[in-house]
Amino acid sequence: MEKRNELYAGKAKSVYTTDDENFLVLAFRNDTSAFDGKKIEQLDRKGAVNNQFNAFIMQKLEAAGIPTHFERLLSPSESVVKRLQMFPIECVVRNISAGSICRRLGVEEGKDLNPPTYELFLKNDELGDPMINESVAHSFGWAEPEHMKTMHELTLKVNDVLKALFLEGNLLLVDYKLEFGLFDGKVVLGDEFTPDGCRLWDKDTREKLDKDRFRQGLGDVVEGYEEVGRRLGMTFEY
Ligand code: ADP
Ligand code: UDP
């Protein structure tokens, strides 16, 4: 497969067309951003770590019956994926309170949420990704109700699969964000699942091993991601 033109450069990944219109190349860069792009830094090895982390997780999800865009690794920091028509929506599940829900509702970090929460946000950095719901997304034509129903079901199924997977590494899956798109009329998981878009805590010490290390200036950000990978049995190539 031949990588062709850059279609889009996001905050952490660049997207390229290929010689096949149904496939794209996702290039994971070292750029790391937080607070809707207001804090940006380059972190050595992060692109390669996230690309290989994402490949590992997407393959686990596919094996569990969740359709994903992942096709294959192209290089340490690039993957071939199906080209999806993305919904401009972020689907967030929380098993433990942290981040924006604490600020929004005035609740403390670390509270078990049972059942887990399911929230939708509009993907729009200028507006700070405002919270929406299915009615709003339907009215504005961002997604059809039947597609949102599938996104909801798949997002919760991902929770079952990944909570159990991370627990094997003595890790708590605190929360995560997913993005979906359509491929041949079917809802498919796109974008990425990496420690950039989820929260993972050591089960015993509650040490943060995800992007909160960057947001909160704790240091050893990529080392935290590598530690998660090591606990799941991943080995990284750089
Ligand atoms: P952002 O756009 O939030 O800054 P990224 O830097 O991660 O994010 O850029 C990647 C972009 O590629 C995102 O806009 C994402 O929605 C999009 N994308 C991810 N997977 C696919 C796919 N399979 N097909 C088309 N677009 C995708
Ligand atoms: N998240 C993300 N991209 C976003 C917003 C959130 O990947 O644009 C992830 C984030 O890393 C966390 C989860 O979604 O794992 C919930 O994020 P939250 O709403 O708490 O926002 P935050 O405080 O992290 O900005």
Every domain of the chain and the residues it spans: 3-82, 86-220
Atom 19 of ligand 2, residue of closest alpha carbon: 100
For the segment 213-232, the average pLDDT, to the nearest whole number, is 98
Q: Map tokens 């996104």 to a residue.
A: 151
The reply to whether ligand 1 has any atom less than 6 angstroms from the CB of 3 is no
Q: How far is the CA of 101 from the centre of ligand 2 (A)?
A: 10
The reply to whether ligand 1 has any atom less than 6 angstroms from the CB of 181 is yes
Query: Is 90 exceeded by the pLDDT of residue 1?
Result: no
Same fold, 3-82 and 86-220: no
For CA atoms 171, 174, 179, 184, the dihedral sign is: positive
Q: Name every residue whose Cβ is closer than 8 Å to that of residue 63 and which is 6 or more positions away in sequence.
A: none
Closest CA to 158 of 180, 138, 126: 180
| pLDDT tens-digit map of 13-42 | 999 999 999 999 999 999 999 998 889 999
**Ligand 2 atom closest to the CA of 198, numbered from 1:** 15
pTM: 0.98
CATH of 3-82, one of 3.40.50.970, 3.30.200.20, 3.40.50.300, 1.10.3470.10: 3.30.200.20
What's the pLDDT score for residue 91? 99
CATH of 86-220, one of 3.30.420.40, 3.30.470.20, 3.40.190.10, 1.10.260.40: 3.30.470.20
Closest CA to 196 of 80, 53, 71: 53
Cα(171)–Cα(163) distance, integer angstroms: 8
| pLDDT tens-digit map of 141-151 | 999 999 999 99
The reply to whether ligand 2 has any atom less than 6 angstroms from the CB of 175 is yes
| pLDDT tens-digit map of 79-138 | 999 999 999 999 999 999 999 999 999 999 999 999 999 999 999 999 999 999 999 999
**pLDDT bucket at 53, cuts 50 / 70 / 90:** very high
